[in-house]
Homo-oligomer: A and B are copies of this chain.
């Protein structure tokens, strides 16, 4: 690995991009069974190489401890036999997903006899930039490949040994299935210049997907000349309407905030209709759960454990056991708050009034809008997509959970019998 850092990152990414494009040409035409076989063989190789992967991960962990990584970062970095098995099982699950490539989106016979079909084809070359979790190497690489793409993976330097060992298993799987090993490449240098080279590799990389914290995503969005699928913030709202079932509202609020506080679908702001009869049990349940409440004066009058919210709270994604809360004037007040402070990720309403619910579903401009369900369902697996490579809050190409279909594009096929245009 050490000699790799002497390579010019721009030349390195250009060369990897050319090899990826060549591999993508093969992958685009690979049968579903061949791609699935590669993933299953990679899962077997992961299991067979468990000791090697654990040893490499142990070196990463030791170096991380010396370098003063936080406990949370070390936990994200750490592999165990159980985590390796979960990664292998994840590859097998992706192998069982429906292959979008070749699917017909629509079909039309024109009056002149031309038959038009629109069919899904792979995007091409997918760049994935991630941080300390080594499982992303397999999860993202496998998903991109199953959709017929070549992947260029750039993981965090703290996980380089683990990523290299997992990547070796993926390449074994590709080789077993007779697919080009260049279909999943791992950037061998981990300095930040390699990221910059990927972000400006227009024409070589078709799309960049960042997986990691806000500073990584912000850098990618600011610098990229290549299209990016991502979400910067998940400022997720739960609105309790006056017509909400009180017990449903209490249960959903607790789950939406506290089931897991560190995921992007976790609720960050609770909006309660000023006309809702009984907000106290909801707020006390939240406070009882160990969550810090930050509220307006009205909220603090109902739940004394709440501290005063500042203006900044309404625009903050805590990713922690903290919830901001305010009363609003009905669904219009809730939607105005969401329009002013939301991040177009996921927002939910609890109400028994179907008319109000449909207004909220229709008018809230977010990738995911939910009615009488926890915001924590914002997840490709929960949506039945099998796995997700990320959640996108932009408006182009794919929105919400991005899985196999989001990693494809389409082309138009025209079948004629000699037609010329008049």
Contacts and interface: CB of A to CB of B under 8 A. Distances in A.
A260 to B, nearest CB: 9
Contact of A372 (B255, B371, B415): B415
Interface stretch (A88-96, A270-278, A406-414): A406-414
Interface residues of A, number: 61
Chain A interface helix/strand/loop/mixed:
mixed
A405 B277 CA distance: 44
Contacts of A121: 365
A302 interface: no
A396 B395 contact: no
Contacts of A411: 365-369, 399-400
Interface string A371-387: 11110110000111000
A383 B116 contact: yes
A308 interface: no
Contact of A416 (B116, B371, B397, B419): B371
Nearest to A418: B248
Contact of A396 (B206, B259, B399): B206
Protomer copies? 2
A199 interface: no
Interface in A107-166: 108, 110, 114, 116, 121, 123-124
Given A123-B395, A206-B396, A421-B382, A373 B412 contact: no
A329 interface: no
A361 interface: yes
Interface centre among A254, A362, A411 (most CB of B within 10 A): A411
A420 B383 contact: no
A418 B251 contact: yes
A207 interface: yes
B418 A370 contact: no
Nearest to A371: B415
A203 to B, nearest CB: 11
A227 interface: yes
Contacts of A384: 108, 110, 116
Contact of A400 (B348, B401, B412): B412
Q: Which 4 A-B pairs have the closest CB atoms?
A: A373-B416, A255-B420, A370-B414, A248-B418
